[in-house]
Amino acid sequence: MPRSARDNGVLVIGLGRFGTSIALTLEQLGTQVLAMDTNEELVQKYSGQLTHVVRADATQLEVLEQVGAADFSYAVVGVGTTIEASVLITANLVDLGKPVIWAKAISAAHGKILQRIGANHVVYPEADAGRRAAHLLSGRLMDFIEFDDDFAIVKMRPPRSVQGMTLAESDIRQKYGVTVVGVKSPGKDFTYAEPPTMVAAQDILIVSGHTDLIERFSQVG
């Protein structure tokens, strides 16, 4: 891969489900990606789907230097099953200096180590997916995205108590502490919610607010 492509590209290390999903999505978005893995079968599998994929051991600093890892703007450490390898790869990238490092962690302790050695961002895909599934299973929620400080945005069916009323009439923000951001009626596009917006039983709401308050709102009769 030319150095000019590396400057604006992403180095993805580890072609498990997490790393592969990131690499494929980035390429679909037009971002240059170099993917690395030690597993020859995975490298062969994705060589037809990714423009640049190599078999290499990123736990070796000299290997990262050979592929020009220091020239990338971002690096993703998708290795999670072997904590030792994950930590060593992250430490090697930190030593190289330039890439902004996103590292996958499989536990809080693993994540703490990654942060202490210099990872810029630590993600917990399994834990995040588990929390999201729990919220979706618990009520009317159809989709759930949680941000920092327990703030979330969800897609949900309207509780019965607000159906057939405008947002001004139901006064959702005052009563429940959450905000209806958008409303989608069957066969129509999402529209921004306004006080005169009528909510029907078949509608879908986009609601934002504190996670606990959203859960309470979703359980309203």
Whether the pLDDT of residue 138 is over 80: the answer is no
CATH for the 3-123 domain, from 3.40.50.720, 3.40.50.2300, 3.40.50.10190, 3.40.50.20: 3.40.50.720
pLDDT band at 144 (very low <50, low <70, confident <90, very high): confident
pLDDT in tens, 13-53: 999 999 999 999 999 989 999 999 999 999 999 998 998 99
The percentage of residues in the chain with a pLDDT greater than 70, rounded to a whole number, is 94
Report which secondary-structure segment, H or E, holds 190: none
pLDDT band at 139 (very low <50, low <70, confident <90, very high): low
For residue 90, the model assigns a pLDDT of 97
Instruction: Write out the residue limits of the CATH 3.40.50.720 domain(s) in the chain.
Output: 3-123
Structural tokens at position 176: 């429940």
Looking at residues 142-149, what average pLDDT do you find? 81
Whether the pLDDT of residue 64 is over 70: the answer is yes
Encoded amino acid at 186, one letter: P
In order of 50, 65, 69, 92, the CA distances from 35 in angstroms are 8, 15, 11, 16
Dist CA 151 CA 33 (whole Å): 32
Give alpha helix (H) positions in the chain.
3-7, 17-28, 40-46, 61-66, 83-96, 108-117, 125-137, 167-170, 172-176, 211-218
Into which CATH architecture does domain 128-218 fall? Answer: 2-Layer Sandwich (3.30)
Q: Which residue has the tokens 């891969």?
A: 1
Tell if the pTM clears 0.75, that is, is over it: no
pLDDT band at 127 (very low <50, low <70, confident <90, very high): confident
Encoded amino acid at 118, one letter: G
Looking at residues 70-92, what average pLDDT do you find? 92
Looking at residues 187-214, what average pLDDT do you find? 93
Instruction: Write out the residue limits of the CATH 3.30.70.1450 domain(s) in the chain.
Output: 128-218
Higher pLDDT: 11 or 138? It is: 11
Looking at residues 184-199, what average pLDDT do you find? 93
For residue 4, the model assigns a pLDDT of 54
